[in-house]
Amino acid sequence: MPSLEEVARQPLARRLARMAQTPDDYEAAIRGHDDAALSRRPEAAAWAAKEVVCHVRDNEEFVMARVRLIMAVDEPTFLGAQPDQVASIVARWAEDRQYLRQDTAAALVTFRRRRRESLDDLATLGPRDFARGGIHSVRGRMTIDDFVTQVAWHDDNHLDQIRRALEGKA
């Protein structure tokens, strides 16, 4: 799997193509697995495949809200978590939103719809728009291009996580 830095060096078109392919890749990864398999955590602290799908569904909305804010406001400020806090925050999402009780197929349908909306929004942007940014309280200035990089890397990371979870590996 490529590192975040390697993904950042890829042309924008390739990163957007990765984002477009992701829903199909996730669907292929979970195809043929029953709810018990999709709900099984490989380790107590690791996520089940179902939880990963729910997470990317919710994260899509979160990230694109930031992109839309960047387009509406010059250099907005985003509150961000310290790296050591991120895991506990997303774990709380999984618990609070009861990811293990959700239907994986329905979560994937919603993710697919949100991703299509995201790509449609990004398709309206010109090169200057991708250079627009905001100030992340932890990471500093982040452009829309940076967010696209993060999403493309995030997609690969979680595809790998889904596959490992279904193989019983953390």
pLDDT tens-digit series, residues 109-151 = 999 999 999 999 999 999 999 999 999 988 899 999 999 999 9
CATH number of the domain bearing residue 78: 1.20.120.450
Helix (H) or strand (E) holding 77: strand 77-78
> From first to last of its 170 residues, what are the pLDDT tens digits of the chain?
899 999 999 999 999 999 999 999 999 999 999 999 999 999 988 999 999 999 999 999 999 999 999 999 999 999 877 777 878 888 888 899 999 999 999 999 999 999 999 999 999 999 999 999 999 988 899 999 999 999 999 999 999 999 999 999 99
State how many domains the chain has.
1
3-state secondary structure 80-106: CCCHHHHHHHHHHHHHHCCHHHCCHHH
Domain encompassing residue 79:
4-166
Take residue 91 and report the two structure tokens written for it: 């774990």
- pTM for the model stands at 0.94
Find where tokens 């728009």 sit: 129
